[in-house]
Amino acid sequence: MEGGDKEATKPWLAERTWTEVNQRIHITVDSEHRTVVVFDGKGSMPGTKALIDLIESIRDQLGHSLLISALVDMRKLDGAPLRSQFVLGKWLLMRKKQMDRIAVFGGKPFEMGVARAVMTIAGMGSKTFFGNHLDEAMRFLGWPRERYPT
């Protein structure tokens, strides 16, 4: 009984975390399928592979027809290999029809440039937003502020 009560109060439909030395990716999906991806630490090819694996795991759990709306927080990302943009761009291109809107914010100029390149490779165009501030990203997505309060 007690375990059931804890499950009922769980705020996320899905939650995944990948951690390595100086690297962390945390993903949450709420009941309206609003997805938040937070990067922390050094970008890497293993991190790129982990990101794809985490999202695929969530798709396996919630369904492959899931339309993804995502907020990507890059405030704590430190660098990203150029090869990562091609791998992630190719993966996004294959999932393009399952992407609704993606707002990327807070990255340093290089990281934001990589994010723009990834979205260009994936042909995401007007489905994406790039900015410096959380509030701008939330407005683009049309999400309530409480979805990502930090």
Average pLDDT, whole number, for the chain? Answer: 89
Please choose, from the candidates 18, 5, 96, 98, the residue with its C-alpha nearest in 3D space to the C-alpha of residue 54. 18
Mean local confidence (pLDDT), 33-58: 96
Higher pLDDT, 21 or 3: 21
Specify the pLDDT at position 145.
Answer: 86
**pLDDT score of 7 more than 80:** no
Q: Are 132 and 106 in contact (CB under 8 A)?
A: yes
pLDDT tens for each residue of 87-132:
988 999 899 899 999 999 999 998 898 888 888 888 888 899 999 9
pLDDT tens for each residue of 61-94:
999 998 999 999 999 999 888 888 889 889 998 9
The one-letter code for the residue type at 7 is: E
- Residue carrying structure tokens 């795991």: 57
Q: Are 104 and 128 in contact (CB under 8 A)?
A: yes
Residue 147 is assigned to a structural domain of this protein: no
CA 35, distance to chain mean position in Å, is: 6
Residue 3 is assigned to a structural domain of this protein: no
Specify the pLDDT at position 18.
Answer: 98
**pLDDT score of 141 more than 80:** yes
DSSP letters along 36-71, please?
EEEEEEE--HHHHHHHHHHHHHHHHHH-TTPPEEEE
Residue 149 is assigned to a structural domain of this protein: no
Q: What is the CATH number of the domain that holds 75?
A: 3.30.750.24
Residue 109 is assigned to a structural domain of this protein: yes
Residue 45 is assigned to a structural domain of this protein: yes
Specify the pLDDT at position 5.
Answer: 45
Specify the pLDDT at position 129.
Answer: 94
- Number of compact structural domains in the chain: 1
Residue 40 is assigned to a structural domain of this protein: yes
Residue 41 is assigned to a structural domain of this protein: yes
Length of the chain: 150
Specify the pLDDT at position 100.
Answer: 93
Q: 40 is in which domain, residue-wise?
A: 8-141
The one-letter code for the residue type at 76 is: K
